[in-house]
Structure formats: structure tokens, C-alpha cells
Amino acid sequence: MKLQDTSVFDANSPQARAILHLFYFDLVISAVIFLAVASLVIYAVIRFRQRPGEGEPFQDPGNPKLETLWTIIPALILLALLVATAYTMRVVNPPVIRSEPNVVVIAHQWWWEYRYPQSGVLTANELHMPVGKKWLLCVESADVIHDFWVPGLGAKVDAIPRNQNYLWITPSKTGVYPGTCAEFCGEEHALMGIRVIVQPQEEFEAWQQSQLRVPAKPSGVEAERGAQLFEERTCMNCHTIAGTKARGTVGPDLTHVGDRQTLGSGAIPNTWEQLTKWIMDPQKIKPGCNMPSLKLTESQAHDIAIYLEALK
């Protein structure tokens, strides 16, 4: 699926488009005002440059009528912008009254948790949505203030601890939409990436079903060793894998981690080599993240990686 842009000009929802239109309106206003100011300045610079032998110019103290004019005209322009603003706000993010969210987004230092209340799916770092449906996201935080921002799909909203904020998104095109945390939240704020995968309805349903399945027991020597290590080496203190003893909630749910396109919330692509590197020393890839280096040998990390990659 195509990786979309993160430009606000690449609007893929009615919400993002409404914002873009308001932005165009504002750009036009700004261009007009800027050109007016710049041309006046440049003209004055050229025309009223001091000529040799020039006497003192006329000391014009001002003209209240003219000054009133250039008070009122900008005021009217801004009034128009204000009206456009109010209208666009209602289109982009109408108030939420008695609506159940389709997905609850919980921000953590430095990864994203997604819960789907209707189906019971729980996953991390990849948000799947069906195309063409108007969805309500409920955005929360488990620790400090974060912010959910996917420019291609619309507005951003803060994730505030002990608070619920709401965001309407109607993705109009399938694709993979990257986003990012947009409120400074500590050391790895820069690599707290968001990935929204917008799929046709049937694919989305299929994905949900697959997420609810408990993954099969590991097959193959390496995977079995990996599963063993996962249990023994404290991984389960922080991570959950359905169908195993791992029930930790400090870090992302890994039940279907093999399905994901990236690791570390968008920091690196999801391949078993990258996963091996990550397991050996996450601090090297995302320094400051909450996963410590576990002092595993490369072969141990490799085994765990093989195990995890099979969790699809």
C-alpha cells in the first residue's frame, strides 16, 4: 500500500480538505497583505531616497481619516477570516455529543496504544481504519502530554493524562499515512511515530479478526528457543502476548507484532534483522526509550526475533 505524504497539502479526508481550503484562503489574504506592504516599502525606498541638496521634506503629522481606513480594512479582512474559521471548525471537528469512539488512542512515552471498543482489538503503533467511514477517535495519555498528528488525515489533538479528547477522521483514500507525536514529551518525542493504515472495509474486517485470534504456538527450534527466552528474560514483565504468560502492559502489546510494518513506533522497518538489532540494544536505535538493553547474545536476540516475527 502506498506510503502517503505528511504534507498538509496532501489532504485525504474531508476534515483535512476543509482545513486546507481555509489555509488557501488565509494564504491568499496573507499574500495580498504582504505584497501590499512589500511594494509600498520598496517603492518608498526607491522613490524617497535622499537626493543631494534636498531640503527638509513636509512634516506630515498624520491623517486620522486615512489611519482609520487602515484600521478598518484589516479588521474587515480578519472578520471574514474569523467567519471562515468558525465554519471550518464545525466541519473539521464538530463537538462530540453522546458518540461512542470507534478507537481509543492511548499515548505512552514513546509509543501508541490502540484499543477498539466495539471489537475488543488491542494493538500498538499501527492504527487500522476502514476507508470512507466517519470515525471518532478518543485520544488519551498514560503519562505526560502527547499529541496525535497525522497531517494527511486532518487536525491534531493533544493526549492529556486523565482527559479525553476527540477527533473525527473520515479517511477518503486507502493508503499508509505517517504521522508523529506533536507535543514535546521527553527524550524520544522525535521518534514517536504514528502509522495509520486505511483499508477497504473487507480488509479491515479481516484484519480485526486476525488481531483477535490467539497466535499459534511457535514452530521450529529457533522460535521455540525464542519463546522460552521471552518468558525467562523478563520480557513478559513489560509486554503482552495473548495465549502466553506474558501479560505486561508497560510496553506495546506484541501479540501480532509480526504483522506490523515498523518497529519502535516507526523508528525502524520490521524485518527480523532489524528486530534482532532492536532486541540486542534498543538504546542504540532509540536512546532513552523505556526498554533497557537486556544483555542478550546475538543468537539469543535472533531466536527471539524469529519467534516474534512468526506472531502474525
Partner 1 sequence: MSKESPTNRAINSLADIKEYRSMLSWITSVDHKQIGIMYIVSAFVFFLVGLGLALAMRIQLMVPVSHFMSPGTYNQIFTMHGTTMVFLMAMPLLFGFSVYFVPLMIGARDMAFPRLNALGYWLYLFGALMMYFSFIAGGAPDAGWFSYAPLTERGYSSSPGIDYWALSLLVMGAGSVATGINLIVTVLTLRTPGMTLTRTPLFVWMIFFNAFLVILALPALNAALVMILADRQLNAHFFSPAHGGSALLWQNYFWLFGHPEVYILVLPAFGVISEVIPVFSRKVIYGYGFMAASTVAIAFLSYGVWIHHMFATGLSYVILYVFAGSSMLIAIPTGIKIFNWIATMWGGSIRFTTAMLFATAFLIQFTVGGLSGVAFAAIPIDWQLTDSYFVVAHIHYVLLGGTLFAMFAGTYYWFPKVTGRMLSEKIGKLHFWLMVLGFNGTFFGMHLLGVAGMPRRAYTYLDRPPLGTLHLISSLFAFVLALAILVFLWNVVRSLRKGEVAGDNPWGGWTLEWATTSPPPVENFDRVPPVRGRRPLWDLAHKKEGGQP
Point out which span in 21-29, 234-242, 252-260, 299-307 binds partner 1 (CB under 8 A). Answer: 21-29
Q: What is the CA radius of gyration of the chain?
A: 27
What is the edge-to-edge ordering of all strands in the sheet holding 111-115? 122-124, 111-115, 103-108, 135-141, 165-169
Q: Judged by CB under 8 A, how many residues of this single chain contact partner 1?
A: 89
Range 148-177, binding partner 1 (CB under 8 A): 149, 151, 154-158, 160-166
Taking every pair of C-alpha atoms in the chain, what is the biggest distance, in angstroms? 96
d(CA 286, CA 268): 10
Q: How many CA atoms lie within 13 A of 124 on its CB side?
A: 25
56 three-class SS: coil
Q: Least distance from C-beta 187 to partner 1, angstroms?
A: 5
Residue 269 CB, nearest distance to partner 1 (Å)?
A: 11
Q: In whole angstroms, how close is the CB of 86 to partner 1 at the nearest point?
A: 6
Q: Closest by alpha carbon to 101, among 128, 134, 138, 129?
A: 138
Any contact of residue 58 with partner 1 (CB under 8 A)? yes
Residue 12 buriedness (CB in 10 A; 0-12 / 13-18 / 19+):
buried
C-beta of 103: minimal distance to partner 1 in Å?
17
Please report whether residue 59 would count as binding partner 1 according to CB under 8 A: yes
Of 120 and 288, which has the nearer Cβ to partner 1?
A: 288
- Residues 199 and 182: their CA atoms lie apart, in Å, by 25
> C-beta of 84: minimal distance to partner 1 in Å?
7
Choice between 198 and 229, CB closer to partner 1: 198
Three-state DSSP class for residue 225 = helix
Using the rule CB under 8 A, which residue among 62, 98, 100, 295 binds partner 1? 62
Taking the complex as a whole, how short is the minimal distance between the CB of residue 113 and partner 1, in angstroms? 17
Instruction: Enumerate residues 88-127 that contact partner 1 by CB under 8 A.
Output: 88-89, 92-93, 95, 109
* Residue 54 in the binding site for partner 1 (CB under 8 A): yes
Asked whether the beta carbons of 251 and 238 are under 8 A apart, the reply is: yes
The CA distance from 76 to 94, in Å, is 26
Is 45 a residue that touches partner 1 (CB under 8 A)? yes
Taking the least distance from each CB to partner 1, the nearer of 95 and 100 is: 95
Contacting partner 1 within 199-238 (CB under 8 A): none
Is 40 near partner 1 (CB under 8 A)?
A: yes
Interacting span for partner 1 (CB under 8 A) from 30-38, 114-122, 208-216, 299-307: 30-38
In angstroms, the Cα distances linking 116 to 95, 165, 200, 286 are: 21, 16, 17, 28
**For residues 268 and 279, what is the distance between their CA atoms, to the nearest angstrom?**
12
The smaller minimum CB distance to partner 1, of residues 33 and 206, is found at 33
Q: How far is the CB of 34 from partner 1 (least distance, A)?
A: 6
Min CB(60)–partner 1 separation in Å: 6
